[in-house]
């Protein structure tokens, strides 16, 4: 028995929803980064799954290339985001995103 594109789309939607839930509820910067990473992995599931099921494409399936792009963007976002969080943590002494509401230069 094989699986078509439908269940793959549902799984992708559930993962996207979990990421969106974390993005809104988490208040620590590390948690927000993790949630964005989960959110960005939802398209990886969709594109790779669609390609495996052979659906949604008229020409040669390039969904796997888009999935790879999503993985690279996810890794890049996490790296840059982690650097930003480390920088803000050094400036604000806090991981709580509510403390980052007004980010401004510190007086010297």
Q: Kindly tell me which of 65 and 103 has the beta carbon lying closer to another protein.
A: 65
Write out the binding residues for another protein, residues 55-84 only, by CB under 8 A.
55-62, 64-65, 67-69, 71-80, 82-84
CB of 58 to another protein, least distance (A): 6
Q: Which of 2, 101, 102, 105 binds another protein (CB under 8 A)?
A: 2
Distance, CA of 15 to CA of 9 (rounded, Å): 10
Angle at the Cα of 38 from the Cα atoms of 58 and 72, rounded to 5 degrees? 60
The burial class, CB within 10 Å (0-12 / 13-18 / 19+), for 87 is exposed
CB of 102 to another protein, least distance (A): 19
């Amino acid at each position: 028995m094989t699986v078509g594109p439908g269940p793959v789309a549902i799984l992708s939607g559930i993962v996207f929803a979990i990421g969106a839930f974390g993005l809104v509820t988490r208040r620590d910067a590390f948690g927000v980064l993790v949630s964005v990473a989960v959110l960005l992995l939802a398209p990886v599931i969709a594109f790779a799954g669609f390609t495996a099921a052979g659906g949604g494409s008229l020409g040669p399936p390039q969904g796997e290339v888009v999935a790879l792009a999503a993985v690279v963007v996810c890794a890049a976002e996490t790296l840059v985001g982690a650097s930003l969080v480390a920088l803000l943590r050094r400036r604000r002494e806090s991981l709580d995103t509510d403390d980052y509401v007004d980010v401004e230069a510190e007086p010297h």
